[in-house]
Structure 1
Amino acid sequence: MTAPVSSPLPPARGPWVLRMQWHDLCFMHWPVNAEAIARTLPAGVEVDTRGGQAYLGVVPFRMSGVAPRTLPDVPRLSAFPELNLRTYVTVDGVPGVWFYSLDIPEPLPVVLARTFFYLPYNLARMWMQHEHGITRYASLRTQADAPAGRFAAAYRSTGAEFQAAPGTLEDWLTNRLALYSADQQGRVYRGHIHHTPWPLRRAEAQITENTLADRLGVVLEGQPHLLHAKRLDVRARWVERVR
């Protein structure tokens, strides 16, 4: 399968509307069959590949400072762990992220994200501990209308901090400033996010349970490609219909 030719990210309309901080994040990426991934995507969304290779990512981290632009933080609604299952796609040649699931432990943000961003957020029981440089993480999805999903791992950063050089696999996997979603009618939306370059480090991880990709019929085998980021400040805009 040939990767689509990339196009520039079109300018967003209007100001950013949501702020957040991401902490103790680990990118865990497995190479997967591009045709298998393509079969899981809606019409108009094309799998993005690097050298013909697609990737599926599991990304555990912690959120804080989550709030609309003009409002202060709200207890429980502004800080919580999050766990993503994602792949990489293009729409009209513009690269971005496609989320299969986003698990969090707070019900109101699940409803808001599903309603206003068309993102497949799910309620889950989650536990996260960061101590002596090691993050321990566990999640059990409890959303009634979503497939089962379990994950447990411990991970830590290693080596010096770096910014991914253009053209590298690390840049391809992480430098994604667009996300895509679809509503129940299959209409596709693009959202813009804004942040400084990722402060990356290499990482080590021990994954003891991971069933997040089971519903896709994709087996995640072997040790994943691992990257770690301590903190990133992020701004997000409303999603816009892709025309």
Structure 2
Amino acid sequence: MHVEFMQLDHRPFSLPSSPWLLSQVWEDLLFMHYPIAPNVLRNYVPRELELDVYQNKAWMTIIPFRVTKMKGRGFPPLPLLNAYLELNVRTYVTYKGIPGIYFFSLDANHPLFVIGARISVGLPYKHAQMKFQQLNNGFQFKSERHLDKSISEKIDLTYKPGDVLFETLPGSLDHWLLERYCMYSFQGKKLLRGDIHHDKWKVSKAKVTTLINTMASFLPVDNIAKIPSLLHYSNRRRVFIYPPKKVGERMK
């Protein structure tokens, strides 16, 4: 048994009955959290999902990270297919009482994975040009994807993790933002829930020293701050991904 399955009491709901399908290692994750007015963000979340809020605030999180050691259950990692860079833009939702994540976009620099994820689970993956570099005192992450000839969504930042590692406390904003174990997406008319599992987050605070960010270009001007209100860093998590299952249908 993988050691991650020896810790389950941090999960807000039980593991799926079906076996996990895919495993990945997520490395050097930076969580950049931004409060957004709920009435603004509600316009960009499907009405089938309830926008989740913490103390009357909705939140958007942008996460650059590295994926390594990706492999299917019972198979070794495949050369050239097991590692890539990823950038997520997400918010927080519930469906029938189950808290989860809704993605506005997921960028990756691996075109085959992008195509496969879009077809299989309906997640809005898009191919982007990306670069990750380890610096003497932190990391640099760059990503750019063109929406058309004149507009692009991009991020260019350097970040440094803090020295103190901590676990989130139940009831805290840190816990509410991080301890999420499913994602919702649409595939045609079907509402899908994709479950994941990993052990409880252990994170540190972080500092962003350079930041260019146009990843939330769909929001009206001045509805997202230039600097994140809260930052978390995690150096590594092994994650187990379960096959998505239908939990509802798109409203007419």
SS of 1:215's partner is coil
Asked if 1:194 corresponds to 2:167, the answer is no
Q: Deviations over 1:101-155 (max 9, x none)?
A: 11111111001111111110000000000132411000011578xx831111110
Partner of 1:135: 139
**Residue 169 and residue 29 in structure 1: after superposition, are their counterparts in 2 closer, same or farther (change >3 A)?**
same
Distance in 2 (CA, whole Å) between partners of 1:153 and 1:11 is: 36
Structure 1 match to 2:157: 153
Identify the residue that residue 6 of structure 2 maps to in structure 1. Answer: none
**Aligned counterpart, 1:238:** 243
Identity of aligned residues (%): 33
TM-score by length of 2: 0.88
**Letter matched to residue 69 of structure 1:** R
Code of the aligned partner of 2:69: G
Specify the SS of the correspondent of 1:112.
helix
Name 1:13's counterpart in structure 2.
Answer: 17
Task: Supply the AA of the counterpart residue of 1:190.
Answer: R
Partner Cα distance (2:241, 2:112) in 1: 18
Give the direction of change, closer, same or farther, for the CA distance of 1:81–1:67 in structure 2 (3 Å limit): same
Instruction: Determine the C-alpha separation between the residues in 2 that align with 1:9 and 1:238.
Output: 16
- Per-residue CA deviations over 1:80-105 (Å, capped at 9, x if unaligned) read 11000000001112110111111111
Given that 2:140 and 2:158 are in contact with CA atoms closer than 8 Å, whether structure 1 keeps it comes out as yes
Q: For residue 123 of structure 1, what is the aligned residue in structure 2?
A: 127
Following TM superposition, where does structure 1 have runs of at least 4 consecutive aligned residues deviating by more than 3 angstroms? 8-11
Counterparts of 1:64-213 in structure 2, within 5 Å, are: 64-142=68-146, 148-185=152-189, 187-213=190-216
Paired residues, what number?
233
Give 3-state SS (helix, strand or coil) of 2:152's partner.
Answer: coil
TM score, norm. by length of structure 1:
0.91
On the 8 A contact 1:180/1:190 being kept in 2, the answer is yes
Q: Partners of 2:193 and 2:126 in 1: how far apart?
A: 20
Superposition deviation, residue 217 in structure 1: 2.7
CA contact (8 A) 1:21 1:63 kept: yes
1:10 deviates by 5.9
What is the rounded CA distance, in whole Å, between the counterparts of 1:86 and 1:242 in structure 2?
A: 20
**C-alpha distance in 1 between matches for 2:153 and 2:227:** 20
Q: Which runs of 5+ in 2 are unaligned?
A: 1-11
Q: CA deviation at 1:71?
A: 1.7
SS in 1 for 2:235: strand
Separation in structure 1 between the aligned mates of residue 185 and residue 211 of structure 2, nearest angstrom: 30
**Partners of 2:170 and 2:180 in 1: CA distance:** 12
Equivalent position of 2:50 in the other structure: 46
Residue 17 of structure 1 and its aligned partner are, at CA, apart by 0.2
Report the counterpart of residue 215 of structure 1 in structure 2.
Answer: 218
Q: How far apart, CA to CA, are the structure 2 residues paired with 1:134 and 1:74?
A: 29
CA contact (8 A) 2:147 2:153 kept: no
Q: Aligned partners of 1:72, 1:133: CA distance in 2, in Å?
A: 33
Q: Contact between 1:122 and 1:143, CA under 8 Å: does it hold in 2? A: no
Tell me which residue corresponds to 2:27: 23
* 1:18–1:67 contact (8 Å) kept in structure 2: yes
Retained in 2: the 8 A contact 1:24–1:229?
yes
Q: Which segments of 5 or more consecutive residues in structure 1 lack a partner in the other structure?
A: 1-7
